[in-house]
A and B are shown apart, each in its own frame.
Chain A
Amino acid sequence: MTTIDVSPPPTPTRDSLATRYHTFMSRHASLMPTFAAIAILIAIFIGAQIYFGNFVTPRNISALLLDNAYLLILAVGMTFVIVTGGIDLSVGSVMAFTGIWLAKLLAGGTSALIAIPTIVLGGALIGLLIGVLVQYFDVQPFIASLAGLFLARGLAYVVSLASIKVENEAVLWLQSTRFKLGDWYITPTGILALLVVAVGAFVMQFTRFGRTIYAIGGNENSARLMGLNIARTKVAVYVISGVCAGLAGLVLTAYSGAGYPRNGIGTELDAIAAVVIGGTVLTGGRGYVLGSMVGVFVYGTINTVISFMGAEQSWTRIIVGLLLLVFIVVQRAIVARAERRR
């Protein structure tokens, strides 16, 4: 008997449950944390429904997407970065910068068709700066993205020290329009967010670029030996994060009807928490964009529950922080157990 045979049975006629479980686990073990997140989300829904009685309604669920669209977009970009083993602490500030810049451009009469791509490009450039520092100058990602954070936050105030109202029809349309289906509704910003999620998930699963990202996170050295283009990919993920921050700035500005340079303080932490809760490992190599979406909904639902309870908004961050801690400790325990078995 060889110890090598770990194949699934060729025709699953009368499989034992154990074999099927084993096969499933060996194929999808990295999905476990995401399943846990989904379970938590469902648990919160059920709990809230029982407690409040009218929690799980089409209106509330639709509002969930609406209110957290910006975070959803940020989380997609953050997923790309974290799976390579990096981190981007600048996204909150970049979102604020692009948001206020958009408001200023629009207030100055620039057409939305020009203003929007401009600010997204701005986000991309800051991401490019970070990526270049990380890849070509061996700067640790958190320091490089801290520089990005400083830069973006300062630039936001350079654009304007005070908030700027948005009166541009096109941009306001993004938020105020509701496509209804019975009691369910969705806004263009919501559609944009879901689109970003879809594209992100698709790219990570089905393109070589996406698979290279997983490779870098798994073992950068091996990935290089396999002949993959590490440099370009590592820079690109930060650019993507910057683009997402730009889009999030658009969404947030449309949502609040104004640009505000003080926006997004600490939002990068929310994004990181959502991504980790959604099943992405901070050391890289494992994670799913769809999982991050679940993480964002967990965050948003907790927020909604807190406001339903009339409690302080600050409880949201505390609970999310604790949840993040639990996930991190469990991740660490799993790694420790694997190491000890060696």
Chain B
Amino acid sequence: MDQAQPLLEVTGATVYFGADAAIEGVDFRMFPGEVHSLMGENGAGKSTLIKAITGVLHLDHGSLTLDGAPLRLHSPVDALHAGISTVYQEIELLPNVSVAENIFLGREPRRAGLIDAKEMRRRAHAVLADLGLTIDPASLLGSHSVAVQQLVAIARAISTEVRVLVLDEPTSSLDVDEVAELFRVIRELKQRGVAILFVSHFLDQVYEICDRVTVLRDGKFVGEYLTRELLRIDLVHKMLGHKETELKTRSRAPASGSGGDDPFLTARGLTTGKGIRDADVDVFEGRVLGVAGLLGSGRTELARAVTGVDHLHAGVIMIAGTDQAFTSPRRALTKGVAYSSENRRTEGIVAELSVLENIVLAVQADRGIWHRMKPARQRELAQSWVEALGIRPADLDRQAGTLSGGNQQKVLLARLLALAPRLLVLDEPTRGIDIGAKVEIQNLVSELADNGLSVIFISAELEEVLRVSDRVAVLRDGHIVDTLPAAEVTVDSVLALVARAGTDEGDE
């Protein structure tokens, strides 16, 4: 790799959302003919930086230069004209028109003011062939797999004079062969001197294709490294940035007696279409099972598979030895299995209903339409939960959408706990919550488990998972790598499991 001048350079980038800085003082460089990866966990600021580079957001502070000259972007179209093209994770193309048209829409070859379809197909064929692709230009884009659509998106991007190509999670829906084909095309582009930004959470792929990696954490720049000089384990450390290497004290006292041998819920071979494959899970009464893994490893998908939210392609779930077909969240709830979504806003709180109505929602749904809880009883129930969980402001009639994130989470918890479930699956319950509320919720989980409730606790923060759990299931790329007693693991050992190069990635 030639250490030439950087093609694209970002210095001191800062973007505010309200009073908070999504990114602050971030530096970033891209060199021609290099594949550069941007790494970081949720909230690290990756997508903000990408949006700044591609003209979707403005920088509040800092500068952008392209080829040494300052670059001002006011819209995505500006970025396009500057030679910065993006292929989004959600394919931003048109499934209802042809491949050729998708490549050239907006710049179609014309003859006498009318679109020259034949010439367009010919040129599309040339562009595709240039990349070594043999896709029929006249075929409808929608008739192809996601992998092919992505390649067409790349073809569109490079059919203009592209200098910087941004690939946002390009491999999430691809199988092994398709990934190989994509990488071949990427290498082809490298030869041509295109600078490529490869955003992905698949560590193995990053190490396979990328030359350089920049790590962000909490909106700040951690460092830029050459992939050949950085160990995976070090990369993961930098992304997660914990200080201690071993936790001395855990607040989860080793449980005594009950809950021991027979699991309350057993799941075998869980596979959904969305990223969890062949997962086996045992959940014991009064025990907390933590789920650890990097972003994208399938944590949420596992939760949704166990609770009837997602459709199972394969696998069984058994409670007390009987096979349960959780065809819907409702069925799961009748069996005492409750799911608290990580998307509080879109899948949790019903924003325009009051705190009271939100808390009693599940109980009311369970009782059915015709047996309304007496208003006094509703109020009593909601009030008791508001006090127990410390929901603030303690105004039952306030619209739930106006509460802070932490309090919304508590309302959601109250709703599920009011059902007296037997298994509570908490997906990122403390995300985006201040430290005080975080500790409250963690202690609550412990208390609930002590009282006999089974809990599955998912969090991106490893220390939190270890602190709260009795056992930890470690996920990587949709598989459960191992399930270990929390007492026997440290953050480091979990990271090692997560970061370890996959030896058996063949089965997809």
Contact = CB atoms under 8 A, between A and B. Distances in A.
A108 interface: no
B258 interface: no
A249 interface: no
Contacts of A6: 134-136, 139, 144, 148
A339 to B, nearest CB: 10
Contacts of B108: 208, 211
Interface stretch (A116-124, A217-225, A253-261): A217-225
Interface string B101-117: 10001101010011101
Contacts of B110: 208
Given A3-B178, A211-B115, A219 B135 contact: no
A30 interface: yes
Given A4-B134, A4-B147, A225 B76 contact: yes
Contacts of B96: 30, 214, 217-218, 285-286
Contacts of B140: 26-30
Contacts of B423: none
A27 B92 contact: no
Interface in B129-183: 133-136, 138-140, 142-145, 147-148, 151, 175, 177-178, 180-181
B68 interface: no
A219 B139 contact: no
Contacts of A7: 134-136
A34 to B, nearest CB: 14
B115 A214 contact: no
The interface centre, meaning the residue of A29, A208, A342 with most chain B CB atoms within 10 A of its CB, is: A208
A215 B114 contact: no
A227 B106 contact: yes
Contacts of A1: 177
A136 interface: no
Contacts of A226: 105-106
Nearest to A219: B94
B321 interface: no
Contacts of B364: none
A26 B136 CA distance: 9
Given A23-B136, A222-B94, A4 B105 contact: no
A207 B115 contact: yes
B93 interface: yes
A1 B92 CA distance: 28
A228 interface: yes
B273 interface: yes
B139 A26 contact: yes
A206 B115 contact: yes
A218 B94 contact: yes
B304 to A, nearest CB: 15
B143 A25 contact: yes
Interface in A218-267: 218-219, 221-223, 225-228
A58 interface: no
B147 A3 contact: yes
A27 B117 CA distance: 14
Interface string A19-50: 00001011111100000000000000000000
B115 A27 contact: no
A23 B140 CA distance: 10
Nearest to B140: A29
Interface string A94-131: 00000000000000000000000000000000000000
Given A3-B178, A26-B143, A214 B135 contact: no
A169 interface: no
A127 to B, nearest CB: 24
Contacts of A208: 108, 110, 115
B390 interface: no
Given A6-B135, A29-B142, 8 more contacts: A2-B180, A4-B178, A26-B136, A206-B117, A211-B101, A218-B94, A218-B95, A218-B97
16 contacts: A4-B133, A7-B135, A8-B136, A23-B139, A26-B140, A26-B143, A26-B144, A206-B115, A207-B113, A211-B101, A211-B105, A215-B94, A219-B92, A219-B94, A227-B80, A228-B105
Interface of B: 76-77, 80, 92-98, 101, 105-106, 108, 110, 113-115, 117, 133-136, 138-140, 142-145, 147-148, 151, 175, 177-178, 180-181, 273
